[in-house]
């Protein structure tokens, strides 16, 4: 006789978060701090969740997320000058005081996991093959297996923080209908490596050529299509160099790893890899709908990425804080009202930035490398346009620069035909998100979403 199948272990909590990257761990931590019982699951082995490379982050986003900013050794580099080079390197812009700190994501992850566990989060690694059980349109449970044993997780609220693949998002029809997965044209193939410097004199020669000092970031834009970058920062010790590359995933210019090979070939002074990694980043305006009853999206799962440079850490961290704020005080954290409060707060506060910088992302794609070169040459792409982007905030050039920009664009009508609509969309994004419906109304949301599609693009 065969033994009857064992009933799966059942775990009940107020909230179950899927994905222990930065966005999911932060959501779990902040929800636990509001008194919720929280389980956080990830399919990877213990301590391996999320980004495993270094990312550029800005301090205000940590403050808004209720977190201390990175400190050494988590913080590898802190601001300083940054040099932006045109595709041909003929034109350059220097920003004296960049707000971007380079953080080691492996250490930020460790900090968040340990804070989450201290706040009472039940963290479970190695949970594979997740399936979602939906009743009357609302997710009620997920099942997964740990070491071959099935486990069932039940909760009032599920949070999808599984990254761009959105494992829960795509399994819940009410949300999937609003959240089409990003297509290759809307994905950045990126790689970041910390490499040894094999030849310090070679590194010095490179720095001299680009007029930079050790510790300063050199951003070469548009080197593989309009939306592409290679950022090289030789450490002050001249012992290591940080290299970030990114390009559109839809062929044409190769992938992030191809671009990394090209950079390493062009700079033979770069040696073996110390650590790093790569992935695809969703590049699109964040979804118009970030939650349905019982399910909320945070991080890349919700495309909460500043698309113009593929920065998702800060806006993903903030999402967890906003979710905890919006659901606090609701008996059912997954209720229609709590879920609406989350998406309305998030989109009204951060939609304007994410919408505007997606317009600039599409502008850079449309410009191509030639157009990016001409944008540098025109003088329009100067510090007053670049600095708000580095700060991941909105901003506009001061009035005294506007006449010069208008003359430069009039002199290059083809450039103006791409740049002016992007500027108009960026401005319109601010007005548009102020009108995002504050109260649950499918009809109002559909109307708003149609308008957003017309104004900002689908
Ligand atoms: C090379 C590179 C450089 C970047 N540079 C920057 C930068 O400078 N600044 C910046 O802000 N952003 C940057 N980004 C983007 C940033 O890394 C992402 O936006 C961010 O990591 C997204 O965090 P997340 O927690 O939403 O998702 P992820 O980090 O993707 O984490 C998702 C987690 O979910 C788990 N998971 C996935 N599927 C399942 C499943 N089915 N079941 C269980 N668990 C699952 C995964 O194991 C993972 O741990 C960069 C990205 C790349 C690739």
User: CATH code at 329?
Assistant: 3.50.50.60
Same domain, 177 and 194: no
CA 343/CA 328 separation, integer angstroms: 14
Q: Please list the residues that pair with 17 across neighbouring strands.
A: 40, 159
Q: Which atom of ligand 1 is nearest to the CA of 49?
A: 49
Average of per-residue pLDDT values in the chain: 95
Beta bridge partners of 233: 217, 242
Output the CA 208–ligand 1 centroid distance in Å: 35
User: Do residues 26 and 142 both lie within one domain?
Assistant: yes
What percentage of the chain has pLDDT greater than the value 90?
90
Of 282, 308, 335, which residue constitutes the final position of a domain?
282
Residue 164 lies inside a defined structural domain of this protein: yes
Can you give the pTM of this predicted structure?
Answer: 0.96
**Whose Cα sits closest to atom 19 in ligand 1?**
312
Q: How many separate domains does the chain show? A: 2
* H runs (alpha helix) in 42-190: 59-64, 105-118, 173-176
Any atom of ligand 1 within 6 Å of the Cβ of 55 = yes
The last residue of a domain, from among 334, 349, 364: 349
Q: Is the pLDDT of residue 51 over 80?
A: yes
| Distance in angstroms (rounded) separating the CA atoms of residues 30 and 153 | 20
Considering only CA atoms, which residue is closest to atom 37 of ligand 1?
162
One domain, residues 113 and 260 = no
Residue 130, ligand 1, Cβ within 6 A: yes
ω into 73 cis (within 30 of 0): yes
CA 310/CA 313 separation, integer angstroms: 9
Question: Angle at Cα 161 formed by Cα 159 and Cα 167, nearest 5°?
Answer: 90
SS3 219: strand
20 ligand 1 Cβ < 6 A: yes
CB 344 within 8 A of CB 438: yes
Question: 349, 376, 399: which is the final residue of a domain?
Answer: 349
Q: What is the Cα–Cα distance from 31 to 339, expressed in whole angstroms?
A: 14
C-beta 364 within 6 A of ligand 1: no
- Domain-embedded: residue 382: no
51 lines ligand 1 (CB under 6 A): yes
Ligand 1 centre and the CA of 161: distance in Å? 9
CATH number of the domain bearing residue 195: 3.30.310
What's 311's DSSP letter?
B
223/276 same-domain check: yes
Nearest residue (by CA) to ligand 1, atom 30, is: 163
What residues pair up with 92 in beta bridges, in sequence order? 85
Q: What is the spatial distance between Cα 439 and Cα 214, in angstroms, rounded to a whole number?
A: 52
Q: What is the pLDDT of residues 161-183, one digit of tens each?
A: 999 999 999 999 999 999 998 98
Calculate how far, in angstroms, residue 50's C-alpha sits from the geometric centre of ligand 1: 5
**CA–CA separation, 291 vs 330, rounded Å?**
15
Residues 147 and 252 in one domain: no
Structure confidence by residue, pLDDT tens digits, 199-249: 999 999 999 999 999 999 999 999 999 999 999 999 999 999 999 999 999
| 344 and 230 in a common domain | no
Q: Are residues 209 and 311 in the same domain?
A: no
Of 44, 127, 281, best ligand 1 pocket probe by most atoms within 8 Å of the beta carbon:
281
Do 136 and 52 share a structural domain?
A: yes
Atom of ligand 1 nearest to the CA of 20: 49
User: DSSP class of residue 285?
Assistant: P
Ligand 1 in reach of 320 Cβ (< 6 A): no
Residue 276: which pLDDT band, with cuts at 50, 70 and 90?
A: very high
Gap between the Cα atoms of 397 and 407, Å rounded:
14
Of 260 and 3, the one with more pLDDT: 260
Residue-wise pLDDT for 382-419, tens only, equals 898 899 999 999 988 888 888 888 888 898 999 999 99
Measured in degrees and rounded to the nearest 5, phi and psi for residue 138 equal: -110, 135
Contact 247, 187 (CB under 8 A): no
**Does some domain include residue 242?**
yes
Q: Rounded to whole angstroms, how far apart are CA atoms 392 and 97?
A: 14
Compute, in angstroms, the gap from residue 229 CA to the centroid of ligand 1.
Answer: 19
Task: Specify if 344 maps to a domain.
Answer: yes
Decide if 255 is inside a domain: yes
First to last CA, the chain: 59
List the domain range (segments joined by +) for residue 260: 185-282
């Amino acid at each position: 006789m065969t033994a009857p199948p064992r009933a799966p272990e059942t775990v009940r909590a107020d909230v179950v978060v899927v994905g222990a990257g930065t966005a999911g761990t932060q959501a779990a931590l902040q929800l636990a701090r509001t008194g919720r019982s929280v389980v956080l699951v990830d399919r990877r082995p213990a301590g391996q969740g999320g980004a495993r490379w270094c990312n550029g982050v800005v301090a205000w986003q940590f403050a808004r997320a209720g977190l201390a900013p990175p400190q050494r050794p988590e913080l590898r580099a802190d601001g300083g000058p940054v040099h932006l080079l045109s595709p041909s390197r003929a034109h350059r812009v220097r920003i004296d005081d960049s707000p971007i700190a380079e953080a080691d994501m492996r250490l930020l992850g460790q900090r968040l996991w340990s804070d989450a566990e201290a706040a009472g989060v039940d963290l479970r690694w190695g949970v594979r093959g997740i399936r979602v059980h939906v009743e009357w349109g609302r997710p009620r449970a997920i099942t997964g297996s740990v070491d071959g044993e099935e486990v069932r997780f039940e909760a009032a609220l599920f949070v999808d923080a599984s990254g761009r693949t959105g494992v829960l998002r795509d399994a819940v029809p009410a949300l999937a209908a609003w959240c089409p997965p990003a297509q290759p044209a809307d994905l950045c193939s990126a790689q970041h490596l910390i490499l040894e410097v094999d030849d310090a004199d070679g590194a010095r020669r490179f720095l001299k050529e680009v007029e930079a000092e050790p510790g300063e970031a050199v951003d070469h834009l548009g080197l593989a299509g309009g939306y592409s970058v290679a950022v090289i920062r030789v450490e002050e010790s001249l012992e290591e160099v940080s290299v970030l590359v990114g390009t559109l995933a839809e062929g044409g210019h190769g992938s992030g790893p191809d671009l990394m090979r090209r950079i390493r070939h062009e700079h033979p002074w770069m040696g073996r890899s110390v650590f790093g990694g790569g992935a695809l980043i969703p590049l699109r305006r964040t979804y118009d709908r970030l939650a349905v009853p019982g399910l909320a999206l945070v991080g890349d799962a919700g495309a909460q990425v500043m698309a113009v440079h593929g920065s998702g850490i800060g806006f993903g961290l903030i999402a967890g804080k906003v979710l905890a704020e919006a659901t606090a005080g609701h008996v059912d954290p997954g209720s229609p009202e709590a879920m609406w409060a989350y998406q309305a707060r998030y989109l009204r506060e951060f939609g304007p930035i994410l919408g505007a910088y997606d317009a600039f992302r599409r502008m850079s794609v449309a410009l191509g490398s030639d157009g990016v070169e001409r944008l540098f040459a025109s003088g329009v792409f100067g510090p007053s346009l670049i600095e708000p982007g580095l700060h991941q905030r909105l901003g506009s050039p001061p009035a005294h620069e506007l006449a010069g920009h208008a003359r430069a664009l009039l002199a290059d009508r083809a450039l103006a035909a791409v740049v002016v609509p992007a500027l108009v969309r960026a401005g319109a994004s601010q007005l548009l998100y102020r009108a995002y419906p504050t109260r649950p109304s499918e009809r109002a949301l559909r109307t708003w979403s149609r308008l957003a599609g017309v104004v900002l693009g689908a």
